[in-house]
Structure 1
Amino acid sequence: MKIGKQLPAVSAINPQERREALLRDAPAPLRAGTPVDTPHTETAPSKNTSFSLQLNQQLSSMQSADSYLGDLQTRLSQLKLNLSRQISSPQPNGEESIRQTVQQVGELLKERSKRSGNSLDANLKLRLTEPVRSRFSLQGLESLEKIRQSGRETLLFSGGRQLAEPVAVVLDDEMTDEQILRRFNGSLGQAGIRAELDQNGELKFSAREGDWQKLKDQLAVQGEGKLFDKGRYVRVQSEDEQLLSFPEELQLDSFRELRRLLDSVVAGLDKVTSLREQLSNRQQEIREFLARQAHADEKQWAMDFSRSVFNLMQRSPSSYAAVTQTVVAQATISRFAVVSLLS
């Protein structure tokens, strides 16, 4: 799993050297959570407190995610052990032990949103810069080719109390993939639903997780007899994407089913382990950055940086207009904006 790293500036040097230093020294601004303790200094009022607060909030969110993933890792490790034992040497009470562990993992997965501080989605991807979204497919709308072949049709979507009024998606003949996506996004966007294509070219939808949980059981559609029935609303069946899921009825007397379940658990465990390692490294980067920032002087930083900018300009031909634009731009730009641009 990849966690994007947008790294802020720490020291004051010329723009080129500063950019190189950013990549080495500073962690990325991510998403808000609960602040944790950070070093307090006498020069705190002159610091960019909002920037440090943001990093502390990110740190808190990552700590919540790591705590949840630690518990999940423990449960998955136990399930992996039980499955391996049952495959290699079946035990009389082996199946019951597996069922209990699967139930425990399932209960833990249901607590993901609350336990992780809303920072992990159902695929266990870290979402610190945006609200967690659910990704799902809608039965009857999985294939763009099927939608294209059905031709002209108007689909009316109803969401009960979650939608003030039905929204219409108007489909025409011989539409391109991009046109189909625009039609769905233009209409379903009113309900907070976004249409997109997955890696296999299949049509998927996404919505904020909290909103989707309220809407999914009320979403219905009415068509014109092609994709969906005419004259009446039909409840739309959806299937949420998630990294780990278990069938309601486990066929544990089948070696193939045990093997399939074990492969799924191993894949999930590998992803959890990898993510925890990345979270650990990232938290350490943030702590080190905040420690370095504890004694930083904002005024001195601004003076040094502005001096390096003008020194760079003096080494190359320039005009009065260019200097004027630079002065005006620098006078109105904040440090946080500079940090974000350079990272």
Structure 2
Amino acid sequence: MKIDQLATRACAPPGLHWPAPAAAAAEPAARQAGAALARQPGQAAEQALQFNRDASLQQVALDYLGRLEERAVGVLQTLAARRSASAESALQGARAGLERTLEQRAAGLGEVLDGQLRAGPATRARVQFEVAGLASLRAVQAAGAETLLFSVGPQAGGPLAVVLDEHLGPARLLRRFNASLGQAGVQVRVEADSRLLFEIDEAAWPALREHLAIRGEGRLFAATGWQVPPLREQSLQAELRQAPAGPVLRALGEQVLERIRAAREYFQQQQSQLRQQLGGETRAAAEKRRVALDFVERLNDAKTTAAGAPSHFQLNARAASVNRAIARSALTRRSVLGLLA
């Protein structure tokens, strides 16, 4: 103990009782526990907010898939009944309705559902497309040595060069495409049938589609000026726009229904996992409540033994603070479970 503290105690009035060492040592622990309990409501609220976002997104996706399924079934039904001019008009209306519903996907569900109705984790959806003149790996290899310049818009800061040499193997050719075009967010891969498939974030696709131009050295692309190659987007909406009425449209409608079933199964599994997670979090919250209350009781017992019993008001205030923190967390979790009901 410091000298000035000893002197102060020596001069203190006879009736003054100094706190016992155990009580003094308990004060920092009490402050730390109070700070920890004060942080819990904020953490619980943030976690509950994320649960609410996930649950809401899953429900929005399921509602959207239900509307899309109705549109696809309507196209197939009107296609089967197409025997007159009025039925032809009904088919055009049903087809336009399906196309509009497919178009709505990107606005609210682009992070979890792409243009082919493939569902996945919350990441940015990608658009896949083919470039006329670069349709296949074999065609590119057969052209031999050539330097291709890609103009992808002002965001790249200038043309991107892909240097093609003779006898390049598939792996090295893809590395050269991806090393250059990757600067604009474009990735290239080879399909099983040798097709070259390009892809980019869905948000960046409109700008690329507007600005893409290529110049070569006279083999794959002309050297005299920039060429704007046709781009073929790989999406159900684009295929629907181009599909003729008849077997092609019928096959596409059935494909849409199959993709809807797969996506619905995915989101239902996500909902089930979220329910299980919320159940585990609720049990964990109950355990935290028990531990917190036990801690408060032990802390009060220690302070009672060391420095005299605290007031009834102090005990009730501490317990009420713990109860409020945990009750707030439990209420937010119940609201999430309500979304999943």
Q: Which residue of 240, 246, 258 maps to 2:240?
A: 246
Give the stretch that moved more between structures: 91-100 or 171-180: 91-100
Between the aligned partners of 1:180 and 1:231, the Cα distance in structure 2 is: 25
CA contact (8 A) 2:128 2:200 kept: yes
Matches within 5 A, 1:119-138: 119-138=112-131
Partner residue in 1 for 2:70: 74
AA aligned to 2:240 is F
Partner residue in 1 for 2:269: 281
AA aligned to 1:285 is Q
- Number of residues of Structure 1 aligned to a counterpart in Structure 2: 252
Structure-2-length-normalised TM-score:
0.67
Q: CA deviation at 1:236?
A: 2.3
Q: CA deviation at 1:171?
A: 0.7
Q: CA deviation at 1:218?
A: 0.7
> 3-state SS of the aligned residue for 2:168?
coil
Partner residue in 1 for 2:258: 270
Structure-1-length-normalised TM-score:
0.67
Matches within 5 A, 1:323-334: none
Q: CA deviation at 1:52?
A: 5.8
CA contact (8 A) 1:197 1:204 kept: yes
Larger radius of gyration: 2
Partner residue in 2 for 1:227: 220
CA contact (8 A) 2:111 2:123 kept: no
Output one character per residue of 1:76-116: Cα deviation in whole Å (capped at 9) or x when no partner. 11111111222xxx244111100011011111122210132
* Runs of at least 5 residues in structure 2 that lack an aligned partner in the other structure: 1-36, 289-341
> 3-state SS of the aligned residue for 2:81?
helix
Between the aligned partners of 1:42 and 1:275, the Cα distance in structure 2 is: 41
Between the aligned partners of 2:72 and 2:39, the Cα distance in structure 1 is: 47
Q: Which residue of 276, 280, 283 maps to 1:295?
A: 283
The 3 A distance-change label for structure 1 pair 291 and 249 is closer
CA contact (8 A) 2:243 2:249 kept: no
Between the aligned partners of 2:287 and 2:138, the Cα distance in structure 1 is: 60
Q: CA deviation at 1:143?
A: 1.0
CA contact (8 A) 1:121 1:133 kept: yes
Between the aligned partners of 1:207 and 1:180, the Cα distance in structure 2 is: 19
Q: CA deviation at 1:299?
A: 9.4
Between the aligned partners of 1:191 and 1:117, the Cα distance in structure 2 is: 20
The 3 A distance-change label for structure 1 pair 158 and 45 is same
Q: Which residue of 180, 184, 190 maps to 2:173?
A: 180
Output one character per residue of 1:253-273: Cα deviation in whole Å (capped at 9) or x when no partner. xxxx42221121012112212
CA contact (8 A) 1:138 1:237 kept: yes
Q: Which residue of 54, 59, 63 maps to 1:58?
A: 54
The 3 A distance-change label for structure 1 pair 152 and 269 is same
Between the aligned partners of 1:249 and 1:117, the Cα distance in structure 2 is: 24
Between the aligned partners of 2:279 and 2:129, the Cα distance in structure 1 is: 42
Between the aligned partners of 2:222 and 2:286, the Cα distance in structure 1 is: 65
Q: CA deviation at 1:247?
A: 4.1
Matches within 5 A, 1:9-28: none
* Runs of at least 5 residues in structure 1 that lack an aligned partner in the other structure: 1-40, 251-256, 301-343
Partner residue in 1 for 2:102: 109
Between the aligned partners of 1:249 and 1:171, the Cα distance in structure 2 is: 35
Structure with more of its chain in helix, by fraction: 2
Between the aligned partners of 2:103 and 2:62, the Cα distance in structure 1 is: 16
CA contact (8 A) 2:181 2:187 kept: yes
Q: CA deviation at 1:157?
A: 0.7
